[in-house]
Amino acid sequence: GRKPKDINLEKVLTIPLNKRSTIRSLAWQLGCSPTTLHRKFMLNLIRRHTNCVKPALKEKNKMDRIKFCLL
């Protein structure tokens, strides 16, 4: 088959965080296709990172949300 396209993965760290928030924007910054970058994710060469900004809901807030949805 076709040989895999080689990407310099160290370059990812030099890209600002706001320009690598999605696969599409990161691929554009690296100069490769999103499909190529997606394959790197599937091979665990790059891992995703999420930041939990919202705290966990308390029991009272969960019940209030359920009541709101049911009404």
Question: What letters, b where the CB count within 10 A reaches 16 and e where it falls short, cover 46-65?
Answer: beeeeeeeeeeeeeeeeeee
Q: What is the mean pLDDT of residues 44-57?
A: 78
Q: Contact at 8 Å (CB) between 11 and 27? A: no
pLDDT in tens, 57-67: 889 998 999 99
- pLDDT greater at residue 67 or residue 5: 67
Nearest to 36 by CA among 69, 5, 2, 68: 5
Tell whether the model's pLDDT for residue 34 goes beyond 90.
Answer: yes
Q: Contact at 8 Å (CB) between 25 and 18? A: no
